[in-house]
């Protein structure tokens, strides 16, 4: 009999379904989290966190987190095209965005990239991207990097829309946001355990 080869990453991604998990198992404290789904892949884990959308803009507000094992020098470098290929492309209204269109910002966890799209008089949509490593926060499972994408449309400004991808939200393990105050519990340290409620 020929040897049985393990499935390739692309095959696993096409066949592995997301399953719903409790909000308390979210990897981050995402403001406005309403549902969390995740799946295990080849040397990686993926979690998607659905966020409240109070606008009329088509599509879902979502945080996509992809944690995996990366070797050597690539640990600190975000690879735009590879990440988009793995998550199925960019969401509306950013589907035609190129990496050169992104603005750069920085917070306590390092650099992040973002773009904005204004819709009507008071609605703004943002796309945020960043990579986190083990030196920034604890990673899920045995992974050492986590790539994050945010699509968030709000009636407000870009700062409000970017909140779920900023250090105050993603620098901590979820504590969790099951109350109406969707911030969850922020911990003293990214490596600290959750505080009791």
The set of residues, in sequence order, having a beta carbon less than 8 Å from that of 72 and lying 6+ positions away, is none
Q: Which position has the token pair 């003293």?
A: 188
Instruction: Give the pLDDT of residue 124.
Output: 94
Contact 196, 178 (CB under 8 A): no
Categorise residue 32: left if φ over 0, alpha if ψ from -120 to 50, beta otherwise.
left
pLDDT digits (tens, 9 = 90+) for 35-55: 999 998 777 889 999 999 999
Answer yes or no: is pLDDT of 17 > 80: yes
Question: Structure pTM?
Answer: 0.78
| Residue-range domain boundaries for the chain | 35-170
Question: If you write DSSP's letter for every residue of 23-48 in order, what string do you get?
Answer: GGG-SS--TTEEEEEEEEETTEEEEE
Instruction: Give the pLDDT of residue 191.
Output: 41
Q: How far is CA 22 from CA 25, 37, 48, 175, in A?
A: 6, 8, 12, 12
Contact 66, 146 (CB under 8 A): yes
């Amino acid at each position: 009999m020929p040897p049985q080869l393990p499935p390739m990453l692309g095959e696993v991604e096409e066949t592995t379904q997301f399953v719903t998990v409790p909000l308390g198992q979210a990897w981050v404290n995402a403001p406005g989290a309403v549902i969390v789904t995740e799946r295990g892949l080849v040397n990686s884990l993926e979690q998607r966190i659905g966020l409240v959308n109070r606008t009329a803009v088509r599509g879902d507000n979502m945080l996509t987190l992809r944690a995996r094992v990366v070797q050597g020098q690539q640990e600190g470098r975000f690879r735009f095209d590879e990440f988009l290929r793995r998550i199925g492309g960019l969401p509306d209204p950013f589907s035609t965005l190129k990496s050169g269109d992104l603005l750069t910002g920085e917070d306590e966890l390092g650099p992040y990239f973002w773009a904005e799209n204004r819709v009507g008089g008071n609605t703004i949509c943002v796309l945020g991207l960043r990579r986190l490593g083990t030196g920034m926060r604890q990673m899920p499972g045995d992974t050492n990097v986590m790539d994050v994408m945010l699509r968030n449309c709000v009636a407000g400004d870009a700062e409000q829309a970017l909140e779920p991808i900023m250090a105050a939200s993603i620098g901590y393990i979820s504590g969790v946001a099951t109350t109406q105050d969707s911030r969850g519990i922020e911990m003293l340290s990214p490596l600290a355990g959750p505080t009791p409620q």
